[in-house]
Chains A and B, each alone.
Chain A
């Protein structure tokens, strides 16, 4: 596939006719999507619609079945050849990921989580890794929690640490898989503020989320995914307020009902 390790991952994320099946069950059915460098795309849609799987294909945590994916100038999947282990490792340092349940290393403190990402994956010297880790913790507002263990932190603090950890390898693309779905409203706000700041700094981001206000305010585009296909693709106000497809309309009505509904009153 002719991919060099120090290769150029800066640029658009280009997905063509991407399919993924688990066994005989198709989960992604021909996704075509180009995400320009520095743009923020929110993936919305019902659980099980394929949002997570799409994100996980982009750093090859899942091996796609068909189609192609390129990050910048690098083809990372073309359905023919496979990346070598070294190439996959290089790819993942350029494409960071945030998980719904954080997945911090529980045996290490916040700062050490961020340090390990550098010393192991990028072989950064400990001193330099420590400096950078503490700077990253400042940017996510957690310098005072540097020596806290994950179990001593709130969900929001854990997720912000996870963001710092993902940024530690210097990615150009950040994949966020429902980053606030496990959080209370206050933590959600803190995490979204951090993501918003990243967006303004030019990070390319694909965010699977149910947060309407975040999507409306931060996203350049909203992709509505259902049944493994892109049903609707457009500016936030278009997709949320004036969806063309009945499936999209139904979904957003449902989401709005849940927000305005008696549950939160």
Chain B
């Protein structure tokens, strides 16, 4: 019987495991940094100080309009040339965080702007301070708007870690290349590696879709809100029962 699989996969399992581990590490660390950096940039964009706004605008446009591979090379090889040598991991994480920070900043900014002024006014009229307005009214609404775009960026970032092959990071794509060059079976190897990327990314996409649906259906995601809603229902059930008697 024809067997399309000729590569001795069990033999390469440890390499693939290493690749997956690095891919996940690059993704998680870069994404956390990008999320924080993006939020800072988004808030800077609404700053009262013009230079802060200009910096945020210029930065975002710059990083949105230069290919990430160029950026990776500048940070890894370019900085190395001028004496600032970064390790593969630092260079990779820095490139991804700076690049995706710009995209996330755009998503966050749109989300913050999507909360109407009247919401801030209504909460001010209740006696909320501006910090309380941001914390309890603007951010919870903005998060719901930002969630789909943010999730798309997370999946995109995971796939983009494959470009770090160019600076010899030991992530999944690099392992694939090694295996392919040892076995001379690029078709089989890259299809398997592609499948592994798919298996990592697809659940992420589905998960965020699920969260979106839950939010849209009004399901409380925070434990505190769940408790509050349960307490309200319990209270009303008691009142109804008392009323029926």
A residues with a Cβ closer than 8 A to B are 59, 61, 85, 89-93, 96-97, 99, 101, 103-107, 109, 111-112, 115-117, 120-122, 126-127, 130-131, 134, 143-144, 146-147, 149, 152, 165-166, 168-169
B119 lies within 8 A of A103 (CB):
yes
B225 lies within 8 A of A169 (CB):
no
A112 lies within 8 A of B225 (CB):
yes
Query: In the docked arrangement, what's the CA distance between A165 and B119, Å?
Result: 14
Stretch at the interface among B122-130, B166-174, B188-196: B122-130
Query: In the docked arrangement, what's the CA distance between A85 and B129, Å?
Result: 8
Contact of B231 with A by CB under 8 A: yes
- B-side contacts of A112, CB under 8 Å: 225, 228-229
Mark each residue of chain B from 208 to 245: 1 if its CB lies under 8 Å from any CB of chain A, else 0.
00000000001000000100110111011001000000
A92's partner among B119, B125, B140, B235 (CB-CB below 8 A) is: B125
Among residues of A, the one whose C-beta sits closest to the C-beta of B239 is A143
A130's partner among B118, B122, B141, B228 (CB-CB below 8 A) is: B228
Query: In the docked arrangement, what's the CA distance between A112 and B225, Å?
Result: 9
Among residues of B, the one whose C-beta sits closest to the C-beta of A118 is B126
- A-side contacts of B129, CB under 8 Å: 85, 89
Are A92 and B124 CB-contacts (below 8 A) given A112-B225, A116-B136, A143-B239? yes
A126 lies within 8 A of B228 (CB):
yes
B228 lies within 8 A of A115 (CB):
yes
Which 6 pairs, one residue from A and one from B, show the smallest C-beta to C-beta distance? A103-B122, A92-B127, A121-B127, A93-B127, A97-B125, A89-B127
A61 lies within 8 A of B124 (CB):
yes
Are A120 and B239 CB-contacts (below 8 A) given A89-B129, A103-B121? no
A130 lies within 8 A of B127 (CB):
no
Among residues of A, the one whose C-beta sits closest to the C-beta of B119 is A103
- Give A20 Cβ to nearest chain B Cβ, in Å: 16
Among residues of A, the one whose C-beta sits closest to the C-beta of B133 is A120
A120 lies within 8 A of B132 (CB):
yes
Query: In the docked arrangement, what's the CA distance between A112 and B118, Å?
Result: 18
- A-side contacts of B136, CB under 8 Å: 116, 120
